[in-house]
């Protein structure tokens, strides 16, 4: 939770133990030397990574699916979501699964439904752009894109300005979505990323997805995505993360912890000219 203090930013306690605070170098060094402290590291800013794809990969939409899939909850850590998108229409969805323990931080410009069942946003430094929504609503588009890719419903007659007409859909259209907005106009900060992991694990998501990372790889003890994914896996929750946003040069992958699933981009069987 966010703590009302100029020093303490977050106390992580729902799924793992830790905190984010404003410390001097000497204070951080003293803390690092105490028994029971696994790691102390400086918060860094991470960046975002980014219809036909599922068919191309062999995930046919006509495959018979279990009704249990409607109880799968995908936790999306990104820029938020645009709930009015047809990809997140909740027509045909039953009640929210009983296992769900999260919340919806609704506002005058944001509400959840039986498809988007939870939503939170994080901004420990309190620095908002005039173009940001102080809610889980997406002002950038990246989070809406990734959420629809993972679990968007079927949307017919989708196209890019009339090109590539078809049905847009996510990998598991019947899954529910829980949104954790960690990224803003200037990027995604480590203290917010860990807070989102802490909540998502405790809220009861079944899988966590994020397309966020650093420019360079970090030691696992200093990498908030690796740390969050580790605690997720300890609780039986797989974290699927983008491998990186660079390449194809050597050492351009930044998310590759052995307890998470790193996903890379590839080519597809069509192109726009």
Of 230 and 1, the one with more pLDDT: 230
Residue pLDDT, tens place only, 126-135: 999 998 999 9
The C-alpha atoms of residue 135 and residue 106 are separated, in whole angstroms, by 7
Give the residue extent of every domain in the chain.
45-263
114 falls in which pLDDT band (50, 70, 90)?
A: very high
CB 71 within 8 Å of CB 97: yes
What would the DSSP string read from start to end of 78-135?
ES-B-TTSGGG--TT--SPPTT----B--BTTB---SSEEEEEE--TT----TTS-SS
Half-sphere exposure of 100 toward its Cβ, with a 13 Å CA cutoff? 23
Residue pLDDT, tens place only, 17-26: 999 999 999 9
Check whether 228 has a pLDDT greater than 80. Answer: yes
The C-alpha atoms of residue 130 and residue 138 are separated, in whole angstroms, by 13
> What CATH topology corresponds to 45-263?
Rossmann fold (3.40.50)
Check whether 11 has a pLDDT greater than 90. Answer: yes
Tokens of 172: 């598991």
Residue pLDDT, tens place only, 34-79: 999 999 999 999 888 665 565 655 666 555 655 456 899 999 999 9
Phi–psi pair at 158, nearest 5 degrees: -80, 145
């Amino acid at each position: 939770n966010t703590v009302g203090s100029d020093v303490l930013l977050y106390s992580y306690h729902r799924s793992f133990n830790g905190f984010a605070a404003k410390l001097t170098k000497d204070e951080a060094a003293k803390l690092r030397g105490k028994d029971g402290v696994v790691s102390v590291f400086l918060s860094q800013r991470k960046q975002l990574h980014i219809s036909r794809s599922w068919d191309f990969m062999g995930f046919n939409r006509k495959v018979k699916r279990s009704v249990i899939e409607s109880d799968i909850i995908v936790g999306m850590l990104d820029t938020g979501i645009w709930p009015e998108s047809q990809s997140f229409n909740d027509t045909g969805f039953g009640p929210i699964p009983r296992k769900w323990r999260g919340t919806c931080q609704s506002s005058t410009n944001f509400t959840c439904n039986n498809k988007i069942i939870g939503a939170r946003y994080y901004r420990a430094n309190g620095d908002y752009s005039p173009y940001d929504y102080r809610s889980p609503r997406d002002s950038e588009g990246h989070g809406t894109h990734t959420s629809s890719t993972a679990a968007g419903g079927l949307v017919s007659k989708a196209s890019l300005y009339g090109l590539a007409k078809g049905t847009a859909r996510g990998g598991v259209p019947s899954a529910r979505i829980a949104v954790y907005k960690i990224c803003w106009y200037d990027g995604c900060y480590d203290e917010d990323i860990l807070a989102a992991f802490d909540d998502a694990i405790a809220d009861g998501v079944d899988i966590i997805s994020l397309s966020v990372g650093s420019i360079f790889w970090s030691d696992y003890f200093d990498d908030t995505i690796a740390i969050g994914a580790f605690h997720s896996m300890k609780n039986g929750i797989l974290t699927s993360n983008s491998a990186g946003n660079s390449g194809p040069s050597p050492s351009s992958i930044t998310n590759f912890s052995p307890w998470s699933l790193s996903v890379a981009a590839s080519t597809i069987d069509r192109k726009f000219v």
